[in-house]
Structure 1
Amino acid sequence: MAFTGFPTDAIEFYEQLAADNSRAFWAENKDRFVTSVKQPMVELTDALDDYGPFHLFRPHNDMRFSKNRPPYKTHQGAYGESEGGAGHYLQLSADGLMAAAGYYAMAKDQLKRFREAIVAPATGEEIAGLVADVEGREYSVGAIGELKTAPRGYDRDHPRIALLRRKGLMLSKDFGARRWLHTKQVERKVRDCWEGAAEVCAWLDAHVGPSTEPPDDRPF
């Protein structure tokens, strides 16, 4: 089926799950999750397949390593990665819709290339300018994390130290739960977000690219 928007019950489902994150609630409401959340997300990612293919994250938290986590995630995420390496991400929660693009978590080999490109005058000034531009267009700039100081071997007083400290470079927009969330306008809003991040993604693909590290050595 073609994507026509997320039903209002999608937001209500996550509001209620946040209040009662239990197996009993999930068992009673799993059909709502499938109908109101999962199926529309599949339809949306199908419509955005030129940025995919997309992987939908499972709704269950991994309880093997943390007994304090709730059993179910309070959001539904979907992720697609281009041949060049840039990722495109969607997330629906009680807060509404978020879209992001870039390299959220870089492996060791990617970080090495990223930092070398930042300190090189031409490429470093280019990405600093691109990041300043997207910040001016109300994108949030983030990553999986950042160092408290300069990476080993780099000057802590470097003019682009804020970029050097990052462990990734991801641009995002939080749209909230706007009325258009329940219409097919969602696809256009997401495309506009990703298109607005395209120059940064192109820089990352050109100067960082996919990791060649074994999967177990990557930070995700």
Structure 2
Amino acid sequence: MLPTGSAAGDGSTLCTGPHTEEVTFKGWPTEALDFYERLEADNSKTFWQAHKEQYDEAVRAPMEQLLADLEPEFGPGKIFRPNRDVRFSADKSPYKTHIGAHLEGGGYIQLSADGLACGNGMYVLAPDQLERYRVAVAEDVAGAELERVIARVEKDGPQVFGRDSLKSAPRGYPKDHPRIELLRHKGLVAWQEWEPAKWLGTRTAYTRITAFLHASQPLRDWLDGHVGPSELPTR
């Protein structure tokens, strides 16, 4: 899962912590990855109930510590609930095979059996956001600025991806526009992944997460400045 164009998604719980410079987060223990490896093999309510204590202690508690440590700089974080919405899915597996959290100040953090992943940006642009995004991308000054921002972000490690991109030019824009690839996107995010390694169980995890958030912040700043939150009424 990646960050959305809104501040947070439904089904998340607020996690706040003391404003302190001391970092209490020490990474995730190996039991966290073990939990998700086993959940992938047996994604059932029976397994979840039998191993909920492992989830609470090895997976969720470290994430709560991390969000508390990040709060002074990035705002409070919200952990998304572990249950999947299976109403319109052919896959009826009841639980997500990752834990994800969104930061109020921008940013997304995810842990799974595949390792650690971080994102920042706007994953889903509402219609009014998409209109403002395209106007800014097409404009000479703002569009060129976005190109420089993307180059800067990618130089520092994260990769910038477009989401749900059109196959052709959006209506009203020429096919030969110099930034046609950016104009086709319906979302734009910086993303970085790390495979499982021993450092995930140390404070190095905190260092890498904050390094990503700092490196990707210029993209978020551009989106906040030129796109902003949706002004459409919430359903």
User: In the alignment, which residue of structure 2 is the partner of 1:58?
Assistant: 81
**Residues 1:144 and 1:70: Cα distance change in structure 2 (over 3 Å):** farther
User: In the alignment, which residue of structure 2 is the partner of 1:135?
Assistant: 154
User: In the alignment, which residue of structure 1 is the partner of 2:114?
Assistant: 95
Provide the secondary structure at the position in 2 that maps to 1:196: helix
The answer on whether the counterparts of 2:162 and 2:182 sit within 8 Å (CA) in structure 1 is no
Could you tell me how far apart the structure 2 residues matched to 1:63 and 1:213 are? 26
Matched to 2:37, the amino acid is E
How far does residue 101 in structure 1 lie from its aligned partner after superposition? 1.1
Could you tell me how far apart the structure 2 residues matched to 1:108 and 1:51 are? 27
The answer on whether the counterparts of 1:103 and 1:143 sit within 8 Å (CA) in structure 2 is no
Matched to 1:152, the amino acid is R
How far does residue 117 in structure 1 lie from its aligned partner after superposition? 0.6
Map 1:144-155 to 2 at 5 A: 144-155=163-174
Instruction: Find the partner of 2:100 among 77, 92, 109.
Output: 77
Provide the secondary structure at the position in 1 that maps to 2:107: strand
C-alpha RMSD of matched pairs (Å): 1.5
Counterpart check, 1:21 vs 2:43: yes
Instruction: Find the partner of 2:137 among 118, 128, 133.
Output: 118
Could you tell me how far apart the structure 2 residues matched to 1:205 and 1:190 are? 21
Could you tell me how far apart the structure 2 residues matched to 1:14 and 1:172 are? 21
TM-score (norm. length: structure 2): 0.85
Provide the secondary structure at the position in 2 that maps to 1:97: strand
User: In the alignment, which residue of structure 1 is the partner of 2:9?
Assistant: none
User: In the alignment, which residue of structure 2 is the partner of 1:205?
Assistant: 224
Counterpart check, 1:8 vs 2:30: yes
Matched to 1:139, the amino acid is P
Q: Deviations over 1:13-61 (max 9, x none)?
A: 1011111111111111111111110111011011111212111011011
The answer on whether the counterparts of 1:105 and 1:143 sit within 8 Å (CA) in structure 2 is no
Could you tell me how far apart the structure 2 residues matched to 1:69 and 1:54 are? 28
TM-score (norm. length: structure 1): 0.91
Which one is further off, 90-99 or 59-68? 59-68
Counterpart check, 1:156 vs 2:175: yes
Could you tell me how far apart the structure 2 residues matched to 1:109 and 1:62 are? 26
Which one is further off, 51-60 or 143-152? 143-152
Instruction: Find the partner of 1:33 among 55, 74, 77.
Output: 55
Q: Which runs of 4+ in 1 moved over 2 A?
A: 63-69, 132-138
Could you tell me how far apart the structure 1 residues matched to 2:182 and 2:234 are? 25
Provide the secondary structure at the position in 2 that maps to 1:47: helix
Q: Gaps spanning 5+ residues in structure 2: where?
A: 1-16, 18-23
Q: Matched residues, percent identical? A: 43
Matched to 2:89, the amino acid is S
Q: Gaps spanning 5+ residues in structure 1: where?
A: none
How far does residue 178 in structure 1 lie from its aligned partner after superposition? 2.2
Q: Deviations over 1:102-151 (max 9, x none)?
A: 11111111111111011111111110122123233332222442111111
Which one is further off, 130-139 or 163-172? 130-139
Could you tell me how far apart the structure 2 residues matched to 1:34 and 1:44 are? 14
